[in-house]
C-alpha cells in the first residue's frame, strides 16, 4: 500500500478534526468564495474546510488519499443535506482524474503538504486551476514554537529515521521552498503571497484528553508511540506531550483551546 495512504487511514482523524471545525470555517469565510465558484479541496479529510465552502454555495469537490476520511466526509454531506459538495479518493501527487483548468480555487489546509513529491504536488495544483484562479495552502512551519510543529518535533525524536530520499512535509512551511516549487510549476514569484496566521484547536475536554486523542487516532503520533513502546519510552513521550499541551492551552475552565501558527500561502495563476 502507498505509505502515505496507510498513514492517514490509520486511526481516525475525524476525532481530531472535530476540534478544528471553528477555525476551519473562519478561514474559509476569508477566502472570498462566491456562489457558483468551482472549488477543489485537496487533502480534505472529512470536510473541515470543504463543507463550509459548500455552505457559501460554491461547487466543491473534496479529494483525499484516505478511504475512511472520504467516506466520513460523504456521510457528513448526507447529514447536512448538501447537494453541491462530494468527496472522492485521490492523490495530490497526481490528480489524474481531474481535467486541466477545472477549478476557480484550490484549497489545501494542512493536506497536500503531507504528500510526497512536493514539486509534483505544486504542478498538479497549478494544472487544475483556471487562469486567474487561486491556490490557497495552509502549511505548518518547521521549528515554530506552537502546538503542531512541536508535536511533530517531539514525535520525530522517538521514531526511526525516515527512509532515504524522504522530504519532510514541514518544508512546505519554508518560504523559499514554496517559491521554488511553484516557480517550477510556472508561477512567478510576484503571484505568491505568504503570511503567518493562527489556527485554534478547540475541544470540550481537558488538554490531557486531547493528548489521548492524538495518541489514539492521529497517524504520526500513533507511529511515534508504537516506536517509543519498543524502546520502553512511551511514558516519556506521553509526559512530553502532556507538558506541551498543558503549557499551550489557553482555556482555564477545564476545556482545551490551543492556538497554532501556520503559513497561509496564496498563489494566483
Q: What is the pLDDT of residues 108-162, one digit of tens each?
A: 999 999 999 999 999 999 999 999 999 999 999 999 999 999 999 999 999 998 8
Half-sphere exposure of 167 (CA within 13 A, CB side): 15
Pick the closest to residue 214 from 236, 242, 182, 243 (CA basis): 242
C-alpha grid cell for residue 40?
Answer: 477543489
pLDDT at residue 1 in the model: 64
pLDDT at residue 135 in the model: 98
pLDDT in tens, 167-199: 999 999 999 999 999 999 999 999 999 999 999
The better pLDDT of the pair 42, 162 is held by: 42
Strands 256-268 vs 129-140: parallel, antiparallel or unpaired: antiparallel
pLDDT at residue 257 in the model: 98
pLDDT in tens, 24-34: 999 999 999 99
Backbone angles phi, psi at 199, to 5 degrees: -120, 125
Taking 90 as the threshold, does the pLDDT of residue 207 lie above it?
yes
Q: Contact 108/137 with Cβ under 8 angstroms?
A: yes
pLDDT at residue 217 in the model: 97
pLDDT in tens, 69-115: 999 999 999 999 999 999 999 999 999 999 999 999 999 999 999 99
* Mean pLDDT across the chain: 97
Where are the chain's structural domains? 3-142+164-200+259-268
pTM for the structure as a whole: 0.96
Q: Contact 93/70 with Cβ under 8 angstroms?
A: no
Residue 267 makes CB contacts below 8 A (sequence gap 6+) with 125, 126, 134, 135, 136, 137, 182, 187, 191, 192, 193
Rounded-to-integer distance, Cα 110 and Cα 17, Å: 11
Instruction: Report the CATH architecture of 3-142+164-200+259-268.
Output: 3-Layer(aba) Sandwich (3.40)
Tell me whether residue 164 is exposed, middle or buried, using C-beta atoms within 10 angstroms of its C-beta: 0 to 12, 13 to 18, 19 or more.
exposed
Rounded-to-integer distance, Cα 231 and Cα 150, Å: 21
Residue whose C-alpha cell is 489521548: 212
Residue whose C-alpha cell is 487544475: 128
Amino acid at each position: 500500500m502507498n505509505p502515505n495512504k496507510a498513514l492517514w487511514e490509520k486511526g481516525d482523524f475525524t476525532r481530531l478534526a472535530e476540534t478544528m471545525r471553528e477555525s476551519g470555517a473562519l478561514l474559509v469565510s476569508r477566502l472570498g468564495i462566491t456562489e457558483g465558484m468551482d472549488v477543489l479541496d485537496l487533502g480534505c479529510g472529512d470536510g473541515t474546510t470543504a463543507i463550509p465552502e459548500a455552505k457559501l454555495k460554491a461547487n466543491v469537490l473534496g479529494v483525499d488519499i484516505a478511504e475512511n476520511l472520504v467516506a466520513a466526509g460523504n456521510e457528513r454531506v448526507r447529514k447536512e443535506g448538501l447537494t453541491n459538495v462530494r468527496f472522492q479518493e485521490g492523490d495530490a501527487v497526481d490528480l489524474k482524474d481531474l481535467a486541466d483548468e477545472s477549478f476557480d480555487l484550490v484549497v489545501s489546509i494542512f493536506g497536500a503538504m503531507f504528500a510526497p513529491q512536493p514539486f509534483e504536488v505544486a504542478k498538479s495544483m497549478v494544472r487544475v486551476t483556471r487562469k486567474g484562479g487561486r491556490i490557497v495552502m495552509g502549511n505548518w512551519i518547521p521549528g515554530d514554537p506552537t502546538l503542531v510543529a512541536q508535536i511533530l518535533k517531539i514525535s520525530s525524536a522517538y521514531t526511526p529515521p525516515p527512509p532515504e530520499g524522504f522530504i519532510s512535509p514541514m518544508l512546505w512551511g519554508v518560504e523559499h521552498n514554496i517559491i521554488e516549487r511553484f516557480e517550477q510549476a510556472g508561477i512567478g514569484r510576484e503571484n505568491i503571497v505568504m503570511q503567518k496566521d493562527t489556527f485554534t484547536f478547540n475541544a470540550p475536554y481537558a488538554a490531557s484528553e486531547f493528548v489521548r486523542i492524538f495518541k489514539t487516532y492521529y497517524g504520526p503520533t500513533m507511529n511515534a508511540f508504537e516506536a517509543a513502546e519498543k524502546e520502553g519510552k512511551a511514558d516519556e513521550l506521553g509526559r512530553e506531550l502532556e507538558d506541551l499541551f498543558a503549557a499551550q492551552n489557553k482555556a482555564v475552565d477545564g476545556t482545551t483551546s490551543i492556538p497554532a501558527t501556520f503559513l497561509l500561502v496564496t498563489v494566483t495563476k
